[in-house]
Structure 1
Amino acid sequence: MRRRQSSHTTARQTSPSFIHARPRHKEEASPVVGSYLAIAGSVVSSVAIVMVNKHILSSGFPFASTLTALHQLFGFFFTNALIAWGVIPQLPPPMPKQRMARTVVAALYASGLVLMNQSLALNSVSFYQLLKMSCIPTIAVLQFLTYGTTISLATTLSLVLILCGVFISTTTDPTGGAPNTSHPANTGLYQMNSIASLLHAFYPSVIAVLAVVSTALSQILLNRSPDLKRLSSLQSLAALSFMSFLVCGTAAIAVDVGIYPGDWVRLVLSLSGVSNVLYSLLPSGFEWLLFSGEEMDVVMRAAVEGGTDYHEFLDGVSSRAYLTEHILGKFVSFINKVSGPSTPLSWVFVSCLLSVLTNLFGFAVIKETSAITYQVVGHFKTVLTLGIGALLFGTDGLVGAKGVGLLVALFGMILYSTCK
């Protein structure tokens, strides 16, 4: 009798639930009420921050990557202030076999944010929706490969219904078909030779794959890491936010400021004299590895204006002066834009506050339930947004396929919540 009961318990643990996860040990089980509160808080805070961010990005602050970096920096200072004031306990040292867990999860989490934003910039809205939906099967596969975790047939069916419904509801927008070709990765450099053209063709797909994998891995490790599981949501934010800020801040410098890694590399090579060696070995081919396509054109024009040969310019002292002025000039221009009178600073502060709540509830959902459940909650937010839009602006936008997709997704979520 005892053996039969143990087998039943193990079977239940392999099926994620919309209400709460089935942890390995009974004493680790989270209350159902806590899971419900975490889910409700995640939905409300996420919808609120999306609305606030849309207002900010359309009101004089069109810097999405910088806003994401500010969210992480604010979370770091906010949680560490709470620790200093004794509101939350001090962070315990990492567990002996988990010393790198916090750094790895933070880097993967921030990379997922950055790469998802890049994928949206490079691809169509429909492709981006497919990308977000692919996180669920990716998590399921990675959990099976790394931990041997399987999900029940009923859970699988509910997930299929959710993904189909969200796909129908969100990918029938006629404005979402064409990829964004205005990104620097789509200009200049990648038309220089066959290798560059090949990179141009596969670059958006590589970014998309990396975005999904990094997002899935960060959520799986957050749910599975013993070192992070023992931390509260506020402690988790304190432990992860600074590394996340470094990753997001680096991306913001490239995307919003316009200073790419090649600029820094080229400047270091010029100052150190290594570029002389590169130039002597490969005088007509090394520079395309160091500049973005947009900046390559600028460098060529600068060489022409200076009356020097293009490759001599790249190899000479003039390139050092140009790059220094180029980097400093872009920083000054960016700071002037950010500090301008049209920047909605009060709304940026509100967005940072909401980001703390969004991260706290998001961490709670992942820890108390599962990474797959967190993704389901994310799709529920999408469905809820569509439903609220229909209530506020009329149901014309949900007629036909969109309305059917909404109903299918809702039915799948109800079925998922009943899976045991």
Structure 2
Amino acid sequence: MGEMSTFQLGVIGALFLSVASSVSIVICNKALMSFLGFPFATTLTSWHLMVTFCTLHAAQRFNFFEAKSTDTKTVILFGLLNGVSIGLLNLSLGFNSIGFYQMTKLAIIPFTVLLETIFLKKQFSQKIKFSLFLLLIGVGIASVTDLQLNFVGTILSLLAIITTCVGQILTNTIQKRLNVSSTQLLYQSAPFQAAILFVSGPLVDQFLTKQSVFAFKYSPIVVGFIVLSCLIAVSVNFSTFLVIGKTSPVTYQVLGHLKTCLVLGFGYTLLHDPFTERNIIGILVAVWGMGLYSYFCTQENKKKQSNDVPLISQIKDKDDDAPVLVGKNMGHPDKESHEAKKSSKDSVV
């Protein structure tokens, strides 16, 4: 029970860190891009990842965590996939309306559920599906405005959805398969994510904004906000890997939509963004869906644990009974050992 309580506290801490850091970086980046005129989102993301890697490298040098050798090919492909997904999401925003971009992000949850059901044989109850449906409806009402479609934008959105879903599923499965922590996986993959965005970022940004990141005039306040954004990004990247590793890609996406609702609320409170009754209704429905999702997940986990405990106790009791068989054949030690092992093996089967 002590280990379970510690695990639950770890999950709560990871979720809180993810929400706090993500909302903070959105506000910081909005100030940087909207008020200070720095529109180079993809390039900024590459800087985020480079600073994250340097920070983790320093932490590893001071023995805050232990670097672990992993399957290099898997980590490289994983890092490149995540880098490509970030670039595709930014391109999707550039080719599509904001409303269609929001729909693209909403589609990540059902597509993740579909992939996990088909390839990982994971089962989702009707209650979980209903809560996710409510969540998507609420976020859609709150954030989706127009739905202008175009062929290139649709293709980019589909590619962004696929790469994002696969990348998040791999984040969870690689941590378990290679037996590495979220910190170790992020440390191994961040250089490759940063590399592909460092090369492609200026090109993508120039295509989308018609401006060059190298020709931009960097005032002290712009540099200060860039540094602040990079520092917050360390926490964002770390908490992302931590949440997906401790929970699931679907839970992380649910958390992402909670962040969307919080950002809308903070935008209205701090930045005086337009806010309508539709936004309020959408946020309330989304929060209801998130609450139901959390409740149903908790109930199903408790049910699973209660079903596992009797089985473990039964196996333990049968194993404890094995020495009684040994006591019946005191004159033959080898026979006693053989019968005890046989009894233990039979009880497990």
TM range (shorter): 0.7 to 0.9
CA contact (8 A) 2:40 2:213 kept: no
| 2:23 pairs with 1:50 | no
Q: 2:66 aligns with which of 85, 89, 111?
A: 89
Tell me what 2:156 maps to. Answer: 207
Pair 253,394 (structure 1): closer, same or farther in 2 beyond 3 Å? closer
Question: Offset of 1:68 from its aligned partner?
Answer: 0.7
CA contact (8 A) 1:228 1:236 kept: no
Gaps of 5+ in 1: 1-26, 180-200, 260-293, 295-329
Give the Cα–Cα distance (whole angstroms) in 1 for the partners of residues 192 and 176 of structure 2: 17
Give the Cα–Cα distance (whole angstroms) in 2 for the partners of residues 44 and 337 of structure 1: 30
| 2:170 pairs with 1:224 | no
Matching of residues 4-403 of structure 1 within 5 Å: 31-58=7-34, 59-90=36-67, 92-94=68-70, 98-172=71-145, 176=146, 178=148, 202-226=151-175, 230-257=179-206, 334-337=213-216, 340-341=218-219, 344-391=222-269, 397-399=275-277, 401-403=278-280
Amino acid at match of 1:109: N
Give the Cα–Cα distance (whole angstroms) in 2 for the partners of residues 416 and 351 of structure 1: 31
Tell me what 2:311 maps to. Answer: none
Pair 215,70 (structure 1): closer, same or farther in 2 beyond 3 Å? same
Amino acid at match of 2:240: G
1:270-307, CA deviations, whole angstroms, 9 ceiling, x for partnerless residues? xxxxxxxxxxxxxxxxxxxxxxxx9xxxxxxxxxxxxx
**Which of 235-244 and 374-383 deviates more?**
235-244
Question: Offset of 1:341 from its aligned partner?
Answer: 3.2
Give the Cα–Cα distance (whole angstroms) in 2 for the partners of residues 39 and 365 of structure 1: 6
Give the Cα–Cα distance (whole angstroms) in 1 for the partners of residues 111 and 274 of structure 2: 34
Amino acid at match of 2:180: L
1:310-350, CA deviations, whole angstroms, 9 ceiling, x for partnerless residues? xxxxxxxxxxxxxxxxxxxx9xx643425x43661111111
Amino acid at match of 1:417: S
CA contact (8 A) 1:61 1:343 kept: no
| SS class of match (2:214) | helix
Question: Offset of 1:28 from its aligned partner?
Answer: 9.9
Pair 346,145 (structure 1): closer, same or farther in 2 beyond 3 Å? same
Give the Cα–Cα distance (whole angstroms) in 2 for the partners of residues 229 and 347 of structure 1: 37
What TM-score comes out, normalization by structure 2 length? Answer: 0.77
Indicate the percent of aligned positions where both proteins have the same amino acid.
Answer: 32
CA contact (8 A) 2:202 2:213 kept: no
CA contact (8 A) 1:161 1:409 kept: yes
| 2:294 pairs with 1:417 | yes
Give the Cα–Cα distance (whole angstroms) in 2 for the partners of residues 70 and 395 of structure 1: 28
1:197-216, CA deviations, whole angstroms, 9 ceiling, x for partnerless residues? xxxx6321111111000000
Pair 106,395 (structure 1): closer, same or farther in 2 beyond 3 Å? closer
Amino acid at match of 2:138: G
Give the Cα–Cα distance (whole angstroms) in 1 for the partners of residues 4 and 77 of structure 2: 24
Give the Cα–Cα distance (whole angstroms) in 1 for the partners of residues 97 and 254 of structure 2: 22
Amino acid at match of 2:132: L
Amino acid at match of 2:11: S
1:332-390, CA deviations, whole angstroms, 9 ceiling, x for partnerless residues? x643425x436611111111111110011111110000000000000001112223345
Give the root-mean-square deviation of aligned CA atoms: 2.7
How many residue pairs are counted as aligned between the two chains? Answer: 293
| SS class of match (2:290) | helix
Question: Offset of 1:153 from its aligned partner?
Answer: 0.7
Question: Offset of 1:239 from its aligned partner?
Answer: 0.8
Q: Which has the higher contact order (CA 8 A, sep 6+)?
A: 1
Question: Offset of 1:85 from its aligned partner?
Answer: 2.7
**Which of 60-69 and 136-145 deviates more?**
60-69
| SS class of match (2:140) | helix
Pair 248,393 (structure 1): closer, same or farther in 2 beyond 3 Å? closer
Question: Offset of 1:87 from its aligned partner?
Answer: 2.5
CA contact (8 A) 1:79 1:238 kept: yes
Question: Offset of 1:395 from its aligned partner?
Answer: 11
What TM-score comes out, normalization by structure 1 length? Answer: 0.64
Tell me what 1:297 maps to. Answer: none
Give the Cα–Cα distance (whole angstroms) in 2 for the partners of residues 177 and 347 of structure 1: 33
